[in-house]
């Protein structure tokens, strides 16, 4: 009788032992993490990198949901972002090449393509060039967005290798001519600015992209503030490096910048932005003011007296003073009489 009373305890002990053994087997299956401090990559180190990257690319391919894919991505990137010291250039080149090789096939699967391209883009090494260029051909705008962002980040590194650098430029310029998504267009433009502020017609191209962007801002809150901020800063860089713009081009550029600045300030004041958008709103408004100064050759549009903690109503009041509001002209109209006053956002 005592024996049968002990059966539940014995059964629990057996199950616990099996679980412990299974856990050890699972841990043993996880590959050894490569050493990012390595300054030489021999056959053993290369095999460690290959095993580690292949393990997590297979994990991503087999994942049942986006959370599992993101975890696989984090394991690949944590070596670079959580190491005590920055990864050595020799390690990064070998590691990035392996990530590009193993994760590129996942770009052809709509389920894994986005997480795969984010993984590749965040390596930030020239060894990923081919994989990122392949990502620019993807059917998904989100994948092309990250591919353009990643390629732009490595262009300054590629400048030391002229054939690879010019190949990347040709790819970006060719894709920019056929791209239909304005957000991807902005990242393609941003990448080209990183390559050279002197790319022909880039200023006009950015202005065209901003024209498409502002056509949607009056109907919906700006969901693209960080990207918008980047391209506006690029516009300021181009204006600062070039000579004075023709007056017609000045007016066209200032019109778009004023619209973006006013729309963001209005949405911010009306509490129509999400928490993340609010964090980016003031920076985007400030970038517009700086770009206006560069385009108009003035110092009239700075937002230095404000921070992102300032009262949204006070920011909007100042923006109205700069861009004009309703029937009241602002500083822009004092400089360019025919420059239109930005529209009010639709009532909700």
Measured distance CA(234)–CA(214) in Å, rounded: 17
- Chain center to CA of 213: 17
CB 214 within 8 A of CB 259: yes
- pLDDT per residue, tens digit, the chain (348 aa), is 444 444 554 444 444 444 444 443 334 478 998 988 888 899 999 999 999 999 999 999 999 999 999 999 999 999 887 666 778 889 999 999 999 999 999 999 999 999 999 999 999 999 999 999 999 999 999 999 999 999 999 999 999 999 999 999 999 999 999 998 888 988 999 998 887 655 667 888 888 888 888 877 766 667 778 888 999 999 998 888 877 788 999 999 999 999 999 999 999 998 888 888 888 899 999 999 999 999 999 999 999 999 888 999 999 999 999 999 987 999 999 999 889 999 888 765
pTM of the model: 0.81
Radius of gyration of the chain (CA): 26
* C-alpha to C-alpha distance for 262 and 278, rounded to whole angstroms: 14
Burial of 181 (0-12, 13-18, 19+ CB in 10 A): middle
The residues spanned by each domain of the chain are 27-184, 197-348
Q: What 8-state DSSP symbol labels residue 161?
A: S
Q: CA 90, CA 40: separation in Å to the nearest integer?
A: 7
Whether the Cβ atoms of residue 100 and residue 120 lie closer than 8 Å to each other: yes
Residue-level pLDDT at 14:
44
Cα–Cα dist 305/282, whole Å: 12
Q: What is the DSSP letter of 246?
A: P
What is the pLDDT at residue 227?
Answer: 83
* Token output for 38: 């390595």
């Amino acid at each position: 009788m005592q024996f049968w009373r002990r059966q539940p305890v014995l059964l629990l002990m057996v199950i616990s032992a099996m679980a412990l053994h299974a856990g050890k087997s699972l841990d043993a299956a996880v590959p050894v993490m490569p050493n990012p401090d390595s300054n030489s990559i021999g056959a053993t180190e290369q095999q460690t990198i290959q095993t580690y990257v292949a393990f997590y690319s297979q994990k991503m391919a087999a994942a049942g949901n986006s959370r599992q894919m993101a975890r696989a991505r984090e394991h690949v990137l944590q070596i670079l972002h959580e190491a005590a010291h920055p990864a050595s250039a020799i390690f990064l080149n070998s590691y990035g090449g392996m990530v590009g090789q193993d994760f590129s096939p996942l770009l052809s699967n709509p389920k894994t393509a986005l997480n795969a391209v984010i993984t590749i883009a965040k390596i930030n090494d020239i060894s990923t060039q081919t994989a990122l260029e392949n990502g620019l051909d993807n059917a998904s705008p989100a994948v092309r967005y990250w591919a353009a962002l990643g390629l732009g980040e490595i262009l300054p590194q590629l400048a030391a290798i002229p054939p690879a650098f010019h190949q990347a430029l040709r790819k970006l310029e060719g894709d920019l001519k056929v791209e239909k998504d304005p957000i991807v267009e902005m990242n393609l433009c941003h990448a080209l600015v990183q390559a050279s502020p002197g790319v022909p017609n880039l200023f006009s191209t950015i202005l065209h992209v901003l024209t498409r962007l502002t056509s949607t801002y009056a109907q919906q809150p700006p969901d693209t503030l960080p990207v918008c901020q980047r391209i506006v800063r690029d516009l300021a860089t181009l204006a600062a490096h070039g000579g004075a713009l023709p007056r017609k081009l000045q007016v066209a550029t200032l019109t778009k910048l004023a619209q973006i600045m006013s729309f963001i300030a209005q949405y911010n004041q009306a509490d129509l932005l999400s928490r993340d958008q609010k964090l980016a709103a003031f920076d985007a408004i400030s970038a517009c003011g700086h770009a206006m100064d560069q385009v108009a050759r003035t110092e009239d549009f700075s937002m230095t007296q404000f921070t992102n903690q300032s009262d949204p109503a006070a920011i909007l009041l100042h923006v109205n003073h700069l861009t004009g509001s309703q029937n009241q002209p602002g500083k822009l109209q004092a400089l360019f009489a025919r420059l239109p006053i930005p529209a009010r956002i639709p009532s909700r």
